[in-house]
Amino acid sequence: MEHLIETWTILQTEMAKQVLIPQKRTDFQPNDLILTLDIQYEGDKAYIAGDVQRQNGTSEGIFLKQDVVTEAYVPQFFAFREGPLLKRFVESWMMHTGLKPDVVLIDGHGTAHPRQLGVACWLGVMMDLPTVGCAKDTLVRYEGTLAEAKESILPILNAKGDTIGHLLRTQQGVKPNFVSSGHRIHQMSAIDLVKNIGGKYRIPETLRRADMAARFFQKMEKSGLLIPHKLNIDGNDFKLLMLHSAFRGQNIVL
């Protein structure tokens, strides 16, 4: 384990050099595709959900895929556990749909990381895709106090003084989210993305949906039940699609 961390640390430092943060803000278009990913774990099994929504709010459904976990979770090295699973999911999704995400939103950090290489950066660099990380807790220290009002932000700086992410209060009085760009996205555009997704809760709508869908998938699989073609969340139906050539004879993509 000692040696593994040493290797991973070197890898992170090398990969961090490949992370590209544009100088100008990214302007999203109304029909840009947002792919939001989340994973539920149970032993070595991973239940992955990918919510697909346009910038204008149109839902393109929620995709599900099962996979196997091979790496342990080590704080600060989360990317090496979850990254490969996310990468396989996105590759599979692109192959089955023929689409390409305009931005991938991930439950975890981007550059707001001790070596500026969170899982969102890892995926962004590995697949050369724009990515954003949104986490529930911070991994790095920050200075200052975040205002109570909804949509207040507070920058997180590294030792050099670069802004590597922000705290974002998505609702008044709730704990903030920790938002940072993963790759090819300006830090303020990462904030814009999460603000635009919005929703009624602390967790941005698409992330909350991906989380619920992954939990649902896990529960159904464990019970040996068939996956329905739609899932109702907060009173709205979302189309469910399996990213498998076959999954107990279930509805296959396309």
Partner DNA sequence: GCGACAG
Partner DNA sequence: ATCTTGTCGC
Query: Binding residues for DNA, per CB under 7 A?
Result: 38-42, 73, 75-79, 82, 107-109, 113, 118-120, 133, 135-139, 215, 218
> What is d(CA 67, CA 234) in angstroms, rounded to the nearest whole number?
27
Nearest distance from C-beta of residue 252 to DNA, angstroms:
25
Q: Is 113 helix (H, G, I), strand (E, B) or coil?
A: coil
In sequence order, the β-bridge partners of residue 179 are 134, 166
Asked if residue 133 lies in contact with residue 164, where contact means CB atoms within 8 angstroms, the answer is: no
- Nearest distance, CB of residue 96 and DNA, angstroms: 24
Q: How far is the CB of 93 from DNA (least distance, A)?
A: 19
- Which residue, 51 or 82, is less far from DNA as judged by CB? 82
Nearer to DNA, 96 or 212 (CB): 212
Least distance from DNA to the Cβ atom of residue 41, Å: 5
Give the whole-angstrom CA distance, residue 71 versus residue 53: 30
User: What φ, ψ does residue 90 adopt, rounded to 5°?
Assistant: -65, -40
Q: How many CB atoms are located within 10 Å of the residue 29 CB?
A: 10
Pick 22 or 114: Cβ nearer DNA: 114
Distance CA 253, CA 240 (A): 9
Q: How far is the CB of 126 from DNA (least distance, A)?
A: 14
Helices 119-127 and 2-16 pack at an angle, to 10 degrees, of: 60
CB of 76 or CB of 250, closer to DNA: 76
For DNA, the closer CB: 63 or 217: 217
